[in-house]
Amino acid sequence: MSRLVRSALATGVGAALALGAAAPVTTSASAAPASSVVATAPAAQVLAAAPGKTKGKDLRRVVYVGNNWDGTADVLLPGSFKRIGRLDIVPDYDERIAEISLNPYRLAYFIAIQQLIGEGHDQLVDDMYSSNDGRLLIVSRPSFADVVALDLATGEIVWRFAVDGVRSDHMALSPDGETVVVSASTGNVVHALDVETGEEVGRFESGGSPHESVYLDDGETILHASIGMVYSPLDDPVLDATKQERVLQLVDADTYEVTRRYDLRAALDEAGLEDVSTAVRPLTHTPDDDTFIFQLSFFHGFVVMDRETGEITKVKKLPNLIPDTPRELYLLDSAHHGISMDPTGKHICVAGTMSDYATVVSYPRMKRSKLIKGGLKPYWVTQSWNGKHCYISWSGSDTVSKISYKLAKIVRTTDVGYHPQRVRNGFIQRSYVADLPQDQPGHG
């Protein structure tokens, strides 16, 4: 996309933001107000699919891979990394498109999201988590500005929640599996939803474009960051202030009150990173939750922050293999987009997005492995359920790989759908596996 097109679209989005209060989003045929939940399956089916206590022997561990431009999710076995099914995440695609087409405000934003953020594609699957009983898959769908719960037995939508604004984004599941939080990108708010019913149980304010959330302290605290207007073409460091407010904050997971906001600008300046953006991208943390490790817009590498003092204690710069690429051509300002520490706290797996590599960095020595070249545009990193591997999505190659933390090399690679992004560990009822659909045409 040309810089001129980006500028024009960004201007249009800015105008739409100014009119946001006058153009509320509504949900499907029921015409319910924005930020409301609609049950779309029969009552008996909703009850049958509702999360509850399930014996471990009835569950199977799986890995879910969201194919953003397809509107599908692949189901993999964590051991063999074999694909055992493919789910249609947008069974209501035609209904949603018809609804958007009748709303000029929504349509303008739908096209802007497609062109500015989706690289010319609809964004149909951003994040996903299964319920702990393996009956539901909760998915955020950016282009449709919603979150849905899919019945893993039938593929039908059990409930749908429309977020504030016109785009949904990253999510996080509470350790007890009862609550999922979802970022509303243009609403500058994060919703907390009941996994079973989809009802909103709380919310908290964020900065511009709420993004990543991670549960800490056994579920008592949420670490949250916003990234600002990453689709703006004003990428020169001197224009950084034009890209909206960026925040890094701690939130009480019971009251949803913001308990602390870090002064990241001051912390970066003190560390000698005066020209580095304050937009926190993917983040991880040490096993004791006392140290935060995160990527930043345009920065090839990551920084380490002390939770108590808010000081940047370590800076790890990683190879920039595209030194002649202007910042305006970075993918949504992301030099790197994907990071995960293993449960021992000794290894950090990193996706070098713009440079097409992965690497494993030792901690606290901060020594990196050889660059791992497994595909194009690595876009997310998640540790395996047992902590021995990290999973990485190669969004430009339509594959995902399993990388050994200890060996720092790929041990398995699997073909998936169109433009894989988020990869999550999860569960599914064993009785559902045999009937999982194997092929879905996709909507990309």
Instruction: List, in order of start, the domains of the chain with CATH numbers.
Output: 63-433 (2.130.10.10)
Least confidently predicted of 24-28, 35-39, 121-125, 399-403: 24-28
Residue 367: the pLDDT is 98
Whether the pLDDT of residue 90 is over 70: the answer is yes
Question: Between 51 and 339, whose confidence is greater?
Answer: 339
Identify the CA nearest to 193 among candidates 258, 256, 113, 287: 256
**Are residues 389 and 63 in contact, defined by beta-carbon separation less than 8 angstroms?**
no
Residue 384: the pLDDT is 98
**Alpha helices per DSSP H over 42-193:** 43-49, 93-101, 104-112
Least confidently predicted of 59-73, 104-118, 121-135, 229-243: 229-243
- pLDDT (average), residues 396-422: 98
- DSSP E strands in 384-442: the ranges are 389-394, 399-404, 409-415, 420-429
- pLDDT (average), residues 59-78: 98
Residue 373 gets which letter from DSSP? Answer: -
Mean pLDDT score of the chain, rounded to an integer?
A: 89
State the CB neighbour count (10 A cutoff) for residue 261: 13
Residue 236: the pLDDT is 78
Question: Between 13 and 317, whose confidence is greater?
Answer: 317
* pLDDT tens string 293-331: 999 999 999 999 999 999 999 999 999 999 999 999 999
Residue 17: the pLDDT is 40
Q: What pTM, to 2 d.p., does this model score?
A: 0.89
Identify residue 15 by its one-letter amino acid code. A
| pLDDT band of 23, cuts 50, 70, 90 | very low
**Look-up: residue for tokens 């591997």?**
389
Q: What is the CA radius of gyration of the chain?
A: 20
Q: How far apart are CA 101 and CA 99, in angstroms?
A: 6
Q: How far apart are CA 322 and CA 353, in angstroms?
A: 11
| pLDDT band of 41, cuts 50, 70, 90 | low
Residue 24: the pLDDT is 34
